[in-house]
Structure 1
Amino acid sequence: MTHARFEDLIAWQKARVLAREIYRVTRQGRFAADRGLSGQIQRAAVSIMSNLAEGYERGRASEFHQFTSIAKASCAEVRSQLYVALDVGYLTPDEFGSLMDLAEEVGRLTGGLRASLERKLRSGA
């Protein structure tokens, strides 16, 4: 692995920002009162960064690849739940757009990391 620590991964750094922003919006107004949706989207956001960290720390490209797949799926879960939050009026269109942009960026970074690991695995490196 090219990074010394999982904290050096750009995907993990951006996932951390996403988790922080999800917590910020879910602690406000009507969103805070909806414990079901707020808890679910918080868990999904935390899952992204947690799976990137856990997969990295396992030290094997095959396991890291598996965990990046889980992280990317959790990112899709966050995006899906953002639509629900928008549709029920918990987020303004601007908040939704900003969070969706960030979630999409995390998804692209995580997907790129997963693709890099896949190439590495195919080449036997």
Structure 2
Amino acid sequence: MGVQKFEDLIAWQKAQELAVLIYSLFDSNRDFAFRDQIRRAAVSISNNIAEGFDRSSNADFIRFLYFSIGSASELKSMLYLSKRLSYINSSEFDQSIEKTNEVSKIIRGLINSLKPKP
């Protein structure tokens, strides 16, 4: 029996944890436009997993998983900028990049498991 709800997906769970981390890291950041954009990118990862899960086909789900990977890449880009702007320290940056890479790898694994086998 396969996964019955998106909440059971490790990819979704890890993406949610990542979003919570990003929210906490940038909670007191006064660059409101930056803070809002990095938060939207982080939240978009798990939201696209959830939205894609309930689509009518694996092909649709895979498409949304690629959107999630795109959001993770956007998040990484913003993390690099946040470090350069001294919005976060090196330790926070390293932790965030590591978690973002982990989420991307898990999503890529999920995509590979959903692709039709030759």
The one-letter amino acid paired with 1:16 is Q
Post-superposition offset of 1:103: 0.4
Mapped partners of 1:117, 1:35: distance in 2: 38
Post-superposition offset of 1:2: 1.9
Aligned residue in 2 for 1:22 = 22
The one-letter amino acid paired with 1:23 is Y
Mapped partners of 1:85, 1:59: distance in 2: 38
The one-letter amino acid paired with 1:96 is F
Mapped partners of 1:46, 1:57: distance in 2: 18
- Does 1:54 pair with 2:79? no
2:98 corresponds, among 98, 101, 125, to 101
Percent of paired sites with the same residue = 38
2:67 corresponds, among 63, 67, 70, to 70
Question: What TM-score do you get using the length of structure 2 for normalisation?
Answer: 0.95
Answer 1 or 2: which has greater helix percent.
1
Mapped partners of 2:57, 2:2: distance in 1: 12
Post-superposition offset of 1:42: 0.4
Deviation readout 1:34-60 (Å, 9 max, x if unpaired): 111111110011100000000001141
Question: What TM-score do you get using the length of structure 1 for normalisation?
Answer: 0.90
- Does 1:92 pair with 2:117? no
The one-letter amino acid paired with 2:45 is I
Mapped partners of 1:98, 1:45: distance in 2: 14
Mapped partners of 2:2, 2:57: distance in 1: 12
Give the unaligned 5+ runs of structure 1: none
Mapped partners of 2:81, 2:95: distance in 1: 15
Deviation readout 1:80-110 (Å, 9 max, x if unpaired): 1000000000101000000110000001001
Post-superposition offset of 1:117: 1.6
Q: Which of 82-91 and 54-63 deviates more?
A: 54-63
Give the unaligned 5+ runs of structure 2: none
Q: Which runs of 4+ in 1 moved over 6 A?
A: none
Mapped partners of 2:12, 2:82: distance in 1: 24
